[in-house]
Amino acid sequence: MSSVARKSRCPLLVLLSLSVELFAILAARDTPQQRLEHDELHHRRSSRLVEDEGGCDLCEDNWLFILSGGGRTGSTTALSMFNSVPGFELSGEHYGLLKEMEKLFQDVKLTTGQMSRGVVAFAGNRVDEDYIACSVQHLTKRIILGAQYDTLIHSAKVIGFKEIRYGSLDMLRFLHRIFPCARYIFSYRDETDAPVRTAAFDQKKLLDRWEQASGLFHRVHAKLNSTTSLLALEQLSVEHYNRVLRDKLGVQGCEFSAVVHDNADGGFRPDQSVSSPLSGECDLSAVSFRLSPGEVTAAAAALQDLERENNATAAPM
């Protein structure tokens, strides 16, 4: 199938059609161990990143995600900083809509599992999980680039978003499945008991989210050091941002000369004191987030290890 023919498909319609059927399924959920075994089987298949007909290259684009566990962690500042780099197209929050896609994807996996076990009520052709992954990725790209898609798709070197609603291991595993070569910037609070200077958040709930996300981000970073970066609100500096820009994202020839402070003092306003935090001429010619199949498989295994550790900790004595 030609690339033009592939692009003519409508991933959104595919997703909506599937969701109508799959959200009606009331089958019992697999246990965490069965989920892990299913994922291990998938990653042991051919470990290919370029899919067959109907699929896509899941690592063709350079995806960058700025994630935070709750608000007021400096994630909007990080968004503004990295969006100032020519060729970076990063969008703001989208109310965690990919959580619905994660639910859809889990139902696809459950359906496939029931088929493989020969459950007659689920008889039919096996659902292609890789095609669903390609559809979710394309839909995400459409949301980020919006009405300027046809123009920006040719100029964007790095694409992504910032979101405060994906600070969970389940969502990180889902994002890795859909965007296996993505880079992550974890925006968090070192001081998880700091007072909240805005009425937009429930203080107790937000402090709990800070603490949970901080612990998770540090554990993930320890296992996936080459593809993740930690940005603590209390330690933000030009040097820190430049290390991420140069060492993790591969941008050369330019550097940050100032740190913007969007949403400062408990507000929701951009920092007007800095016209541009960037200086120099950015060279993105060497920017490539592509990983080898072995690296992708190793990262998936590391996230599975974290889930096992969580399950072991949560298991009753």
DSSP 278: E
- Amino acid letter for position 36: L
Residue type, 58: L
The whole model's pTM is what? Answer: 0.79
Q: Going residue by residue through the chain (317 aa), what tens digit of pLDDT does each one get? A: 443 344 444 444 445 444 434 333 333 344 555 555 555 554 443 334 444 445 699 999 999 999 998 877 889 999 999 999 999 999 999 999 999 999 999 998 899 899 989 999 999 888 888 889 999 999 999 999 999 999 999 999 999 999 999 999 999 999 999 999 999 999 998 876 666 666 667 778 888 888 899 999 999 999 999 999 999 998 889 999 999 999 999 999 999 999 987 555 554 455 565 678 999 999 999 999 999 999 999 999 999 999 999 888 876 65
Q: Give me the domains of the chain, ranges plus CATH numbers.
A: 3-314 (3.40.50)
Instruction: Specify whether the CB–CB gap between 90 and 82 falls below 8 A.
Output: yes
What single-letter DSSP state applies at residue 111? H
State the Cα–Cα distance between residues 92 and 80, nearest whole angstrom. Answer: 9
Query: Which H helix or E strand runs over 22?
Result: helix 11-22
Residue 293 in contact with residue 307, Cβ under 8 Å? no
